[in-house]
Amino acid sequence: MLTVTIQNRETHDAIERYVMAAIVDAREVYADRKWLTWADSWIAGRDRSFASARKAHQIALQACERESSEAAARTADADESAEAESCAPETPAELAAWAAGLAVVRAPIVPDLMAGIRRIEFALRNRLASLRTPGQPRAARPALAGRAVARAQRAGATLMPPEVRQTARP
């Protein structure tokens, strides 16, 4: 049983390194700002969500379509006697689409329950802070906001299994 767990972890790490290498390679040649922002967030681990990876993949695919239509126009305008490339190298947009596609496959599809709990916590703190008057002294016992936050964290810990990785950290 332990051997299977270790093999699964090694496979998981190898796939993670492969996706990271593809993103870094594409990042060196691709110049779209939105895609680069996504790549930086993915590499840093701030945003590894399925939705952001899918959006980056769509951006790169649109760039691939533009490049292919431009290449077709150039080919049509070129002389027929000119030597055409039989095996063109990958374009930067194709590399970006490949890397983002790998990230889409790798990204967790399940919603991040802890992100929802963090939003609830933020809303509770803001709401309860607005109810306190400026001159009112702080109570010695835990504040209502603190207790609500603690309950939300405990609820999140019971809802979220510890094996599932978090996609975003504050």
Those residues whose C-beta lies under 8 Å from the C-beta of residue 112, and which sit 6 or more positions away, are 49, 166, 167, 168
- Residue 34: per-residue pLDDT: 93
Q: Which amino acid is at 37?
A: T
Tell me how crowded residue 95 is: count the other CB atoms within 10 A of its CB: 21
Instruction: Give the ranges where the chain is alpha helix by DSSP (H).
Output: 2-29, 33-44, 50-77, 92-106, 113-131, 144-159
Range from 81-90, 110-119, 125-134, 145-154 carrying the lowest mean pLDDT: 81-90
- Residue 86: per-residue pLDDT: 46
Q: Does 38 have pLDDT greater than 50?
A: yes
Q: How far is CA 2 from CA 9, 100, 165, in A?
A: 11, 33, 20
Instruction: Kindly state the average pLDDT of the residues 101-111.
Output: 80
Q: Does 167 have pLDDT greater than 60?
A: no
Instruction: Kindly state the average pLDDT of the residues 25-51.
Output: 89
- Residue 132: per-residue pLDDT: 66
- Residue 62: per-residue pLDDT: 92
Tokens 């945003």 locate to: 47
